[in-house]
Amino acid sequence: MTRSQSMQPQSAVGAPVARVDGRLKVTGSARYAADHGPADGIEGVVHAVLVEATIGRARITGVDTRAAEELPGVLAVFHHGNAPRLPYRDNPFPDSINPPGERLRAFQDDRVRFFGQPVAVVVATTPETARHGARLVEVRYAAERVGTDLAAGTPGGEPETYGRGDVEAGLRSAEVRLEMTYRTGRNHHNAMEPHAIIARWEGDRLTVWEKTQWVADPRNELAAAFGIPQESVRCLSTVVGGAFGNGGRTWVHSVIAALAAREVRRPVKLVMTRKQLYSGVGYRPAYEYAVRLGSDRSGRVTAMAHDVRGETSRYESHADDMALGRMLYTTPHVAQTVSLVPLDVNTPTWMRGPGWSTAAYALECSMDELAHELGIDPIELRLRNEPESDPATGSPFSTRRLRDCYAIGAREFGWDRRNPTPGATRDGDRLIGTGFAAGAYATERMNAQAYARLDADGRVVVQSATSDIGPGTATSMSQVAADASACRWTPCASTWATRCCRPPRSRRWPGRWRASARPCRTRATCCAPGRRPRGHRPGLTASRRRPGRVVVRDGWLSVGTDPGRGETYPQLMGRNNRSHLEVIGSYEPPEESGFSMYSYSAIFAEVAVDARLGLVRVRRMLGVFDAGRIINPTLADSQAHGGMIGGIGQALLEHTITDHRDGRIVNADFAGYLLPVSADVPDVRAIYVDGEDREADPIGVKGLGEIVIVGVAPAIANAVFHATGRRVRELPITPESLLG
C-alpha cells in the first residue's frame, strides 16, 4: 500500500491499494492450474502429452502406437482409432462462446484440419516418459491440398453487412476521396502461463483445475462433451497467468485430458508446450481491411466504406466485432462488409481489444491520411466529426468524454509543438515523428451473481463464479466489498481466492469477465472488524425499531440522529448469537438501456525512425482513457501499460508466420515470435479522465482491459508516417517495409 492509514480515503474504491495476492505471486507461491497436487487432494496424477499433426490437411490412414506403448511408464495412447465416442451435446451461446460451426472434437474422426492439430495423446507416469512416448507415435496421412493464406484471395463466406445512408452516392459527391487497404498479421496471445489442466473423475463427477477466463465455460463444455449434467462438473481456477482472450473458451485439449483421465482412471495433467500454443488454442486473426473515405474540404467525413476480410477455420466461423467504424464519427453514409475466409487453420479467437484494435488500425490510419491530405491537424479532424449521439443507433451516449481525452492528451503530450510536415524533424540519424489515434470499445454487461458473507469476526467474504486473469480481480472486488459493507479495507491473510467455483444455479455469464478492475469476480475478502469512533458509546438498540436509519461507516453501525451510539458488526452478531450473515445478490443488465455505452481512448506516440536501417523505436507514448470509474489506479496502470505495450507489439513486432506450403507455423517460440522487451518500452504513461458512468452499471465502471490497446497501433503507424513521410499499410511495420 502506498498510503498511510490516516490518509486512507473514506472509500476503498479509487484507492491505489496493492494487489492482495501480490506477495503470493512474486514469491512464487501462487498456484496456477498445473501447480495443484496432493495438497489439493489430487493423488496419483499421471501426465498427458499431445501428438500433433505434422501436415496441414489430410486424412489419417494409420496410427502406430506400438513403440510408445512399449515404453516403460506409458499407460495408454489414445487417438481417433481407439478413443471412446463422446456424446458432444451442442453447447451454443449463451452457455458457451463457441463460435458457429462444429467445434473440433477430441479424436472423433480421421480428419486433420490444420497443422498442429492434436491427433493422439500419450499418457504416462512421468511427463518425460509421456513426451518421449509422444515422439514415438507414428501417424500416417493421406495428404490433401492445403490453403492457409488469406492473401491468396480465397473467396470469403457470406459477409455480415452494415449500412446507413447511401455510401456510393456519398463517395461520388465527396470533394476528397481516399482509397486504401490495410493488412494486419496474425498475432498470438502468448500469455506467460501455458494452457494447462488437471482432470480428475470420481465416478460420474469430473473436477478440473483449469486455466480459464471463465470458470463456467469448462464446466459447460466438458458437461456437453461427455453428456453429463453441468452439476457434475466442477471447475477450479485460482490464479491465471495471463490469457488476453485465449482463456475465454474451452479448447479441445481440455476434453482430451478429461477423456484420458476417464479411460486410465487416474487424474491426468496436461500442460501444453509453448510451441503447441501456436496451434492448439486461438489467436488474433489476420485481416485485410479496405477503406474508402469521402470528405469535404473542411474535413467533414461524409462517406465511409469498409470491406473487411478475415481468416477463420473451415470448421468454425469466428467473427470479431468490427463496429468501431459505425460509431466513432458522425459520417452520414457508412457501408461495411465483413467476410470470413475459411482456411485450413485452427479457429481464431478474441485477443485483447478483439476487432476494435484491428478496426482502429484501419480507421484511424485512414483518418490520419485524410488529415494529411486536407492539411488539417489530426485531432482537429476528429473534433470536426465528433458525434453528439451514437450515429449508428441514434441513442445518446451514456458518457463520452473523448473531447476531454483529446484535450488532456494534447496538453500533456505537447501536441502543439508538432511540426505538421512529415519527415521534417531529425535527431542525428533518426527521423522523429508523432502520431495520434482514437479508439473505442463496447461496454459489455453480463448477468452476474455474487455471494457475500459477513462473519462474526468482522470479515467480509465475497464469492462469484469467475477467475482472476491478472487484472487484480480479487483486489478490486474486495475494495468494492469494503465500500458496499461500509467496512474499512484491510488486506488480510486470506484475502485471496483459493476456490472460485461456486457456479450459481441459474446464472448464465459470470460477472463482467473481460475488462479490468471490475467487481463481481472471484472470491475476495476484506477484514472489517469495525472501529468505534473515539468517544462513542456502544449499543444499537434503535436499529431494531428503525433499520432504515442505521448508518454504517468504517464498520461502525449507528443511528442517524445519534452517531455516537452504535456498535460494530461483530458486536451486532455476538448480541444476536449469529455466526455470520449472508446474502446472494445478482445483477441483470436491462435489456434496453436506451444508451450507447463505450470506453474511449486517445493515444499519442512519438517514434524515432532510423530510416537508412529501417528501424522504428517508440520513444514515448501517452494513453488517455475514458473508462468510467477507476476502482484502483495502480491496477489500472498495470492494465494500461500492458495494453499499450501489447499495442507496440502489434504495431512493430508481433507476427505469427505460416509456411503456406503445409500450414506449419515457423516461428512458434519466443525467439521467432517477437514480443516487446523492456528496451522497446520506453516512457509509457496512462491518464484516466475523471468520471463514472452510472448508466453502464451500478458502480460506474465502463471497462479498461480492452480499450487500452485500441488505437495504439495506428498512433504508432501514424507517427512513423509523420517521421518519414512513408505510409506503411501493413502490420507489423518491419525494417524491410521502410527500406528503399
Partner 1 sequence: MDISALPLGEITFTPEGGLRLGALARMADVAADPAVREAYPVIAHALELSASPQLRNMATIGGNVMQRTRCSYFRDVSAACNKRAPGSGCAAREGYNRGHAILGTSDACVATHPSDLAVALAALDARIHTRGPGGERTVPFADFHLLPGTTPDREQDLRPGELIVAVEVPPHPRPLASGYLKVRDRQSYEFALTSAAVALHVQGGVIRSAGVAAGGVGTVPWRLRAVEQHLVGRRPAGGLWAAAAERAAEGARPLAHNGFKVDLLRRTVERQLRIVGGGS
Distance CA 287, CA 359 (A): 9
Q: Is residue 233 within 8 Å of 201, Cβ to Cβ?
A: no
* 177 or 617: CB nearest partner 1: 617
Contact yes or no for 396/390 (Cβ under 8 A)? yes
Give the footprint of partner 1 on this chain (CB under 8 A): 54, 429, 612-615, 617, 652-653, 657, 659, 661, 664, 666-669, 671-672, 674, 676-680, 734-736, 739-740
| Smallest separation (angstroms) from partner 1 to the CB of 673 | 10
Supply 17's cell numbers. 491499494
Which CB, 584 or 613, lies closer to partner 1?
A: 613
Is residue 538 within 8 A of residue 566, CB to CB? The reply is yes
Task: State how far the Cα of 278 lies from the Cα of 704, in Å rounded to an integer.
Answer: 27
- Considering the complex, state which of residue 30 and residue 657 has its C-beta at the smaller distance from partner 1: 657
Question: What's the CA gap between 18 and 223, in Å, rounded?
Answer: 38
Contact 685, 621 (CB under 8 A): yes
Minimal distance, residue 61 CB to partner 1, in Å: 17
Shortest distance in whole angstroms from residue 510 CB to partner 1: 37
Taking the complex as a whole, the smallest distance from the CB of residue 614 to partner 1 amounts, in Å, to 7
Distance CA 631, CA 699 (A): 9
Q: Residues 88-119, buried b or exposed e (16+ Cβ, 10 A)?
A: beebeeebbbbbeeebbbbbbebbbbbbbbbb
Cα–Cα dist 55/663, whole Å: 7
CB of 47 to partner 1, least distance (A): 21
| Known active-site residue 288 | no
Question: Annotated catalytic residue: which of 69, 412, 706, 730?
Answer: 706
Shortest Cβ distance from residue 666 to partner 1 (Å)? 5
C-beta pairs of 572-580 under 8 Å, 24+ apart in sequence = 572/540, 572/543, 573/454, 573/456, 574/456, 578/456, 579/455, 579/456, 580/453, 580/454, 580/455, 580/456
**What are phi and psi for residue 708, nearest 5 degrees?**
-65, -15
What b/e sequence results for 295-322 when a residue is b if at least 16 CB atoms lie within 10 Å of its CB, and e otherwise? Answer: beeebbbbbbbbbbbbbbbbbbbbbbeb
CB of 617 to partner 1, least distance (A): 7
Nearer to partner 1 by C-beta: 427 or 736? 736
- Residue closer to partner 1 by CB (options 169, 613) is 613
At residue 281, what are phi and psi to the nearest 5 degrees? -130, 180
Provide the minimum distance between the beta carbon of 616 and partner 1 in the complex, in angstroms, as a whole number. Answer: 9
Q: Which is nearer to partner 1, 527 or 651 (CB)?
A: 651
Report how far residue 734's alpha carbon sits from residue 384's, in angstroms, rounded to the nearest whole number: 33
Of the two residues 149 and 210, which places its CB atom closer to partner 1 in the complex? 149
Pick the closer one to partner 1 by CB: 54 or 173: 54
Query: Half-sphere exposure of residue 398, counting CA atoms within 13 Å on the CB side?
Result: 25
Count CB atoms within 10 A of the CB of residue 712. 31
Residues 228 and 262: their CA atoms lie apart, in Å, by 13
Catalytically active residues, by annotation: 706
